[in-house]
Amino acid sequence: MDGILNINKPTGMTSHDVVGKVRKLLSQRRVGHAGTLDPAASGVLPVCVGQATRVAEYLSESGKAYRATLVFGIVTDTYDAEGAVVQETDASALTRQQIEAMLPSFLGSQMQVPPRYSAIKLAGQPAYKRARAGEEIMLDARPITISRLEIVDWQPPALTLDIECSKGTYIRSLAYDLGKRSGYGAFLRNLVRTRSGPFVLSESITLEQVAEAVERGEVWRYLHAPEKALEYARALVLDIETAERVGHGNAFSGAPEQAGVNARELARVYDQEGRFLAVAAWDADRSMWQPVKVFAS
Whole-number pLDDT of residue 141:
87
Q: How many CB atoms lie within 10 A of CB 92?
A: 11
Chain mean pLDDT for the chain = 90
Q: How many CA atoms lie within 13 A of 40 on its CB side?
A: 14
The fraction of the chain above a pLDDT of 70, given in percent, is 89
* pLDDT tens per residue, range 29-59: 999 998 888 899 999 999 999 999 999 989 8
Domains and their CATH numbers in the chain: 3-61+200-228 (3.30.2350.10), 64-196 (3.30.2350.10), 233-294 (2.30.130.10)
Q: How far is CA 39 from CA 17, 60, 63, 82, 278, in A?
A: 9, 19, 20, 10, 34
Helix 15-26 vs helix 207-216: crossing angle, to nearest 10:
10
pLDDT per residue over 148-206, tens digit each? 999 999 999 999 999 999 988 999 999 999 999 999 999 999 999 999 999 999 999 99
Three-point CA angle 115, 121, 122, nearest 5°? 95
- State pLDDT tens for residues 118-128: 666 666 666 66
Give the three-state DSSP class for 167: coil
* Extended beta strands in the chain, E state: 3-9, 31-33, 42-49, 64-72, 74-76, 85-88, 108-112, 121-122, 125-126, 142-155, 158-165, 186-196, 199-200, 234-237, 252-253, 266-270, 276-283, 288-294
Choice between 140 and 39, residue whose per-residue pLDDT is larger? 39
What is residue 15's three-state secondary structure? helix
- Summarize the confidence of residues 196-218 as an average pLDDT: 96
- The SS3 call for residue 124 is coil
State the pLDDT at residue 243.
93
DSSP 185: -
Cα–Cα distance measured from residue 99 to residue 61, given in angstroms and rounded to the nearest whole number? 29
Give SS3 for 186.
Answer: strand
| Burial class for 48, CB neighbours closer than 10 Å (0-12, 13-18, 19+) | buried
Q: pLDDT (tens digit, 9 = 90+) per residue, 224-279? A: 999 999 998 999 999 999 999 999 999 998 655 555 666 678 999 999 999 999 99
**Is residue 64 helix, strand or coil?**
strand
Smallest CA-to-CA distance from 188 within 44, 78, 46 is with 78
CB 44 within 8 A of CB 29: no
Predicted pLDDT of residue 284: 84
pTM greater than the 0.85 cutoff:
yes
**Residue 198 pLDDT:** 93
Which of 2, 17, 38, 177 is catalytic? The answer is 38
Please answer whether residues 117 and 78 qualify as being in contact, where contact means their C-beta atoms are separated by less than 8 angstroms.
yes
Confirm whether 38 is a catalytic residue. yes
Per residue in 232-244, is it b (16+ CB within 10 Å) or e — as a string?
ebeebebeeebbe
What is the distance between the alpha carbons of residues 163 and 65, in angstroms, rounded to a whole number? 5
pLDDT of residue 114: 86
pLDDT (0 to 100) of residue 62: 79
**Phi (first) and psi of residue 118, to 5 degrees:** -140, 170
Spatial separation of the C-alpha atoms in residues 254 and 238, rounded to whole Å = 10
Number of H helices, E strands in the chain: 6, 18
State the sign of the Cα–Cα–Cα–Cα dihedral 133, 191, 177, 74: negative
Q: Given this model, what pLDDT does residue 175 score?
A: 97
